[in-house]
């Protein structure tokens, strides 16, 4: 838990070259470089419980389903005791449901779209893995709905939600992170693309 930890909204994973991304993503690129090069930050993307596994399970029980998967993961097993939440099944279901109503207060259960359920799952996973127990853990997103509820999530659950640029601005000096040059960002992108090509060729 010594490294600052940033959980990326799945929409924050950069899939285009740096030059093609808007300035809103500059902080994300800097965080990625600090992850891949000096490894001075931890970046995470939450796993998603597939719809096939949760099909037929009431929304009120999705928290316990996700929590049971988390308890079996290496992520949970490698966490020190002070970095994990010890919750009973009714408590995890209550937490998931409470977050669901915070994010989508006007949407009835039967009208929740798969993407909205996925959003709840993301912030729930972040919360139970370290988001509410570690002061150096942040959920990074450009999603307006998450950002509009950032104050509520900080107050109710101790969870920090912010944009990539704000995450970078607040962590660069505090954790002595390196501000990469444009050349370094492009070199990282190119090396990642070369790795993807090698993986593709090896899989044939």
- The predicted-structure confidence for 77-96, as pLDDT tens digits, reads as follows 676 766 667 777 888 899 99
Q: How many CA atoms lie within 13 A of 198 on its CB side?
A: 6
pLDDT in tens, 90-122: 888 999 999 999 999 999 988 988 889 889 988
**Does residue 73 or residue 39 have the better pLDDT?**
39
Give mean pLDDT, residues 62-66.
71
pLDDT for 52 equals 42
**What are the tens digits of pLDDT across the range 138-194?**
999 999 999 999 999 999 999 999 999 999 999 999 999 999 999 999 999 999 889
Measured between alpha carbons, how far is residue 98 from residues 74, 92, 179 in Å?
A: 27, 10, 38
148 and 116 in contact (C-beta within 8 Å)? no
Supply φ then ψ for residue 16, to 5 degrees. -130, 160
C-alpha 68/C-alpha 128 separation (Å) is 11
Residue 75 scores a pLDDT above 70: no
pLDDT value at position 83? 67
The pLDDT tens digits for 172-187 are: 999 999 999 999 999 9
* Average pLDDT estimate for 50-61: 60
pLDDT in tens, 4-54: 989 888 777 767 889 998 999 999 999 999 999 999 998 887 766 554 445
Does 60 have pLDDT greater than 80? no
Tokens of 138: 């942040």
* Residue 40, pLDDT score: 94
According to the per-residue pLDDT averaged within each range, which of 10-14, 66-70, 133-137, 138-142 is highest?
138-142
Tokens of 45: 């993307």
């Amino acid at each position: 838990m010594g490294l600052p930890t940033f959980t990326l909204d799945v929409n924050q994973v950069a899939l285009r070259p740096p030059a093609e991304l808007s300035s809103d993503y500059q902080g994300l690129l800097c965080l990625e470089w600090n992850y891949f090069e000096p490894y001075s930050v931890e970046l995470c993307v939450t796993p998603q419980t597939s719809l096939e596994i949760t099909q037929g399970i009431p929304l009120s029980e999705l928290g316990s389903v996700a929590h049971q998967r988390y308890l079996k993961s290496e992520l949970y097993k490698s966490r020190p005791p002070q970095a994990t939440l010890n919750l009973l099944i009714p408590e995890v279901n209550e937490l998931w449901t409470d977050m669901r109503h915070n994010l989508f207060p006007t949407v009835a259960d039967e009208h929740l779209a798969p993407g909205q359920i996925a959003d709840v799952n993301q912030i729930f996973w972040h919360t139970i893995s370290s988001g509410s127990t570690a002061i150096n853990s942040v959920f990074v997103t450009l999603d307006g709905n998450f950002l509009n509820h950032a104050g509520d999530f900080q107050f109710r659950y101790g969870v920090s939600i912010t944009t990539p640029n704000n995450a970078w601005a607040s962590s660069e000096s505090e954790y002595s992170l390196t501000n990469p040059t444009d050349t370094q960002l492009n070199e990282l992108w190119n090396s990642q693309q070369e790795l993807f090509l090698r993986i593709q060729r090896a899989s044939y």
